[in-house]
């Protein structure tokens, strides 16, 4: 099996020809000795090979086995990411259901991010009939007849006094169900 640092190294080697150990070390933020050890380990495992260009210069190349392992691990990582996005979307749905249950039918979303897109997808579900979602770039654009959903980790903006706001990032961070289910995926 390949660990995370080895995977990072084959991603860098697979994407860049002509990198030397010093460049690789700098890109990975590792010591030159640690980078050398990782390269030797990957060579032993058959994931990369060295091609001597001249007396002082070498090139690191992925082997077919290295390409295969890189692809396998990339697909696995992508699947875990998709699962995590699904969990986040479920948490967003619970948050929106709570607001909907309180009679909120107009939502303002501050900013445009991937989190905003997840909120938009979730609000389009049948459970949220009659809800209106408005994207805004400035909290001043929001009116007191709705709830402002903030999709930033810490927002220093000044919100209108008559407007209720919910920081979605903080709400997601407090959702034990999402955190508990994502931790095994992150660790694996």
Is residue 9 in a domain? Answer: yes
Q: What is the CATH number of the domain that holds 132?
A: 3.40.50
Whether residue 45 is found in the same domain as residue 108: no
Beta-carbon contacts of 64 under 8 Å, excluding residues fewer than 6 positions away, are none
Task: Give yes or no: residues 96 and 180 share one domain.
Answer: yes
Q: Residue 10 maps to which CATH number?
A: 1.10.10.10
Query: Do 97 and 149 sit in the same domain of this protein?
Result: yes
Bridge partners (DSSP) listed for residue 150: 110, 167
Instruction: Tell me, yes or no, whether 15 lies in a domain.
Output: yes
Is pTM, for the whole model, over 0.85? no
Radius of gyration from C-alpha coordinates of the chain: 24
pLDDT tens-digit profile, the chain (188 residues)? 778 889 899 988 888 765 788 889 998 999 999 999 999 999 999 999 988 888 888 888 899 999 999 999 999 989 999 998 999 999 999 999 999 999 999 999 987 788 999 999 999 887 888 899 999 888 878 877 888 888 876 666 667 677 788 888 888 888 765 544 544 443 33
Burial zone of 61 (CB within 10 Å; 0-12 exposed, 13-18 middle, 19+ buried): middle
């Amino acid at each position: 099996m390949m660990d995370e640092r080895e995977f990072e190294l084959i991603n860098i080697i697979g994407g860049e020809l002509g990198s030397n150990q010093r460049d690789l070390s700098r890109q990975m933020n590792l010591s030159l000795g640690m980078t050398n050890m990782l390269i030797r380990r990957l060579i032993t495992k058959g994931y990369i090979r060295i091609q001597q260009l001249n007396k002082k210069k070498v090139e690191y190349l992925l082997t077919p086995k290295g390409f295969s392992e890189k692809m396998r691990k990339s697909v696995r990582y992508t699947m875990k990411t998709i699962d995590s996005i699904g969990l986040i979307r479920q948490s967003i749905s619970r948050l929106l259901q709570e607001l909907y249950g309180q009679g909120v039918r107009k939502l303002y979303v501050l900013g445009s991010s991937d989190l905003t897109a997840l909120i938009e997808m979730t609000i389009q579900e049948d459970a949220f009939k009659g809800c209106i979602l408005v994207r805004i770039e400035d909290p001043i654009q929001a009116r007191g007849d709705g709830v402002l959903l903030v999709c930033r980790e810490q927002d220093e903006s000044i919100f209108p006094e008559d407007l209720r706001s919910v920081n979605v990032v903080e709400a997601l961070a407090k959702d034990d169900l999402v955190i508990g289910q994502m931790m095994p995926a992150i660790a694996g």
